[in-house]
């Protein structure tokens, strides 16, 4: 069966329909309707579509094959049998008994898995499936669908590291049916306009506007530096000596305030004045991790009163979303007990999505949930702290982050390497090539014989890489346009 015959046959069978208004599952009213679920009850069409799919897939490289339940599963079974490849699939429901997780079938970590689905609209559900498989150790690169009913999904998926192959596209359907006079020019323009508006809405949903992310990225572009100095000094004399020297080179200073032996209330006063004068922001790397109420007390109160002076803070999501409400939400018990809520531009977080230390316990499933939390809390989450073992590993992770939120990467030095306590370093250029927006450097600068020259070198090399690789832009244009 050719793509043209498939289109005509789907239209004749009423599986692709135009000309009236259809209410979609989302409640939106669409001028066309595509539903391939009942193809399985038409043996001839099912066989022909399975044949087409088999031919499309034959040339691709994979070890196991999967279909997204329910619609695509029967095709995946047929194709797997024909090509002599193992079939695996993801349960739709969480299993509450017996052994094994949500994936049925045998595979080895590192196996390449090809995924079949019936349609693609935004690509989001494909990416969710890929992430589930990746969390189980599989490698997902290729998706094959019958119909790409969007105008952008293939490009969006490609940006996130996946190939989308389709047997027919919406444009081919429209073109074929119009040429056959089965639909009018008006049907075609209605379908295109509807799809464009749906695509635009989806793009907006994925695009996040966080005030601090915007401020930090514009400071980076203005000052031409993506350097974040991790100033892990143990006394304030060393801290300010180093910071004064490096101030002109950095976009932000990262502070572990509890490392200081001689902290007193004059420290944040002096730090804030220097930040103002030197034009950089302050990130308190406190790594809050407790329940919301405790995190709130730690952030707004105690000796350090971090909320009063830090532009942003780092947060582990291990205790659940309540920590973000605790840190940045209003105090139901009043401000007296907890201190005031930080201002909108000041109260922001970088979530720990991946760590640089060897043997850390964060896995892909955890990282995925952290990103999901960041995506659903755009008012507070300016970005993520993350690391990659290689450029492509970092790139794949970066592509999963919502646009408009930033990736800051620790574990960076001029060359790859490690320390003797588990820290693993990636080189500055690799970090930027992999998609880090800010590079966090500690000992590479303050441990150098001449910290000021080291800071200058990191800033220059880092910004040169930003200019070469991304044309001197930190925030993607689409994100700023929101």
Q: Which of 142, 199, 290, 325 is catalytic?
A: 290
80/227 with CB nearer ligand 5BU: 227
Q: Does 411 bind ligand 5BU (CB under 6 A)?
A: yes
What x-and-dash track marks residues 312-351 binding ligand 5BU by CB under 6 A? ----------------------------------------
Nearer to ligand 5BU, 126 or 387 (CB): 387
- Residue 286 Cβ, how far from ligand 5BU at the closest point, in Å? 11
Q: Which position among 286, 346, 387, 398 is part of the footprint of ligand 5BU (CB under 6 A)?
A: 387
Of 76 and 355, the one with the shorter C-beta distance to ligand 5BU is 355
**# of chain residues touching ligand 5BU (CB under 6 A):** 18
Are the CB atoms for 410 and 285 separated by under 8 Å? no
Give me the catalytic one of 28, 95, 196, 287. Answer: 287
Residue selected from 423, 464, 470, 480 as contacting ligand 5BU according to rule CB under 6 A: 423
**Separation between Cα atoms, residue 417 and residue 16, nearest integer Å:** 56
Residue 391: Cβ-neighbour burial (10 angstroms; 0-12, 13-18, 19+): middle
Q: Cβ of residue 251: shortest distance to ligand 5BU, in angstroms? A: 15
Q: Work out how close the CB of 230 gets to ligand 5BU at its nearest, in angstroms, rounded to a whole number.
A: 4
Rounded-to-integer distance, Cα 222 and Cα 244, Å = 20
Q: Which is nearer to ligand 5BU, 102 or 423 (CB)?
A: 423
Near ligand 5BU by CB under 6 A: residue from 385, 394, 406, 431:
385
Q: Catalytic site residue 311?
A: no
Is 378 one of the binding residues for ligand 5BU (CB under 6 A)?
Answer: no
Q: Is 223 a catalytic residue?
A: no
Exactly one of 124, 142, 232, 290 binds ligand 5BU (CB under 6 A); which one?
232
CB closer to ligand 5BU, 300 vs 387: 387
Least gap, CB of 283 to ligand 5BU (angstroms): 10
Measured between alpha carbons, how far is 65 from 76 in angstroms, rounded to an integer? 7
Q: Tell whether residue 71 is a contact of ligand 5BU (CB under 6 A).
A: no
Q: Which residue, 257 or 324, has its beta carbon nearer to ligand 5BU?
A: 257
For ligand 5BU, the binding residues in 279-318 under the rule CB under 6 A are 285
- 94 CA to centre of own chain: 24
Which residue of 441, 465, 474, 475 would you call a contact of ligand 5BU, by CB under 6 A? 441
Of the candidate residues 356, 367, 405, 427, the single one contacting ligand 5BU (CB under 6 A): 356
User: Does residue 130 belong to the site contacting ligand 5BU (CB under 6 A)?
Assistant: no
Which residues carry out catalysis? 287, 290
Under the rule (CB under 6 A), what is the footprint of ligand 5BU? 230, 232, 256, 285, 352, 355-357, 385, 387, 410-411, 423, 440-444
């Amino acid at each position: 069966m050719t793509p043209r015959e498939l289109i005509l046959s789907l239209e004749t069978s009423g599986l692709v329909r135009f000309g009236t208004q259809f209410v979609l599952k989302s409640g939106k009213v669409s001028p066309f309707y595509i539903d391939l679920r009942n193809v399985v009850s038409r043996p001839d069409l099912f066989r022909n579509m399975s044949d087409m799919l088999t031919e499309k897939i034959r040339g691709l490289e994979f070890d196991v094959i999967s279909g997204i339940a329910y619609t695509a599963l029967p095709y995946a079974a047929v194709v797997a049998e024909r090509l002599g490849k193992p079939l695996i699939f993801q349960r739709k429901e969480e299993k509450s008994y017996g052994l094994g997780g949500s994936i049925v079938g045998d595979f080895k970590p590192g196996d390449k898995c090809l995924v079949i689905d019936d349609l693609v609209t935004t690509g989001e559900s494909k990416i969710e499936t890929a992430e589930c498989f990746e969390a189980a150790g599989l490698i997902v690169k290729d998706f094959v669908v019958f119909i790409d009913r969007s105008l952008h999904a293939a490009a969006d998926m490609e940006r996130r590291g996946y190939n989308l192959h389709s047997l027919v596209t919406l444009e081919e359907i429209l073109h074929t049916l119009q040429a056959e006079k089965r639909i009018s020019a008006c049907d075609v323009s209605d379908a295109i306009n509807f799809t464009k508006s749906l695509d635009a809405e989806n793009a907006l949903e994925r695009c996040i506007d966080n005030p601090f992310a915007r401020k930090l990225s514009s400071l980076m572009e203005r000052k031409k530096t993506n350097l974040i100095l991790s100033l892990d000094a143990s006394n304030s004399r060393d801290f300010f000596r180093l910071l004064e020297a490096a101030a002109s080179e950095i976009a932000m200073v990262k502070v572990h305030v509890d490392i200081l032996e001689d902290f007193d209330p004059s420290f944040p006063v002096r730090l804030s004045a220097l930040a103002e004068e030197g034009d950089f922001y302050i990130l308190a790397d406190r790594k809050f991790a407790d329940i919301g109420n405790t995190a709130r007390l730690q952030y707004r109160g105690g000796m350090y009163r971090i909320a009063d002076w830090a532009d942003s803070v780092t947060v582990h999501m291990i205790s659940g979303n309540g920590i973000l409400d605790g840190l940045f939400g209003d105090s139901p018990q009043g401000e007296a007990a907890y201190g005031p809520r930080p201002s909108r531009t000041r109260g922001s977080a970088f979530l720990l999505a991946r760590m640089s230390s060897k043997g850390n316990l964060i896995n892909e499933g955890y990282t995925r949930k952290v990103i999901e939390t960041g995506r659903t809390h755009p008012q507070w989450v300016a970005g993520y702290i993350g690391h990659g073992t290689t450029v492509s590993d970092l790139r794949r992770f970066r592509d999963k982050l919502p646009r408009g939120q930033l990736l800051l990467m620790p574990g960076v030095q001029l060359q790859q390497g490690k320390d003797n306590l588990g820290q693993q370093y990636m080189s500055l250029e690799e970090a930027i090539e992999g998609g880090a927006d800010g590079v966090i450097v500690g000992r590479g600068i303050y441990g150098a014989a001449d910290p000021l020259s080291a800071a200058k070198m990191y800033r220059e090399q880092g910004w040169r890489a930003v200019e070469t690789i991304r044309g001197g832009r930190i925030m993607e244009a689409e994100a700023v346009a929101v």
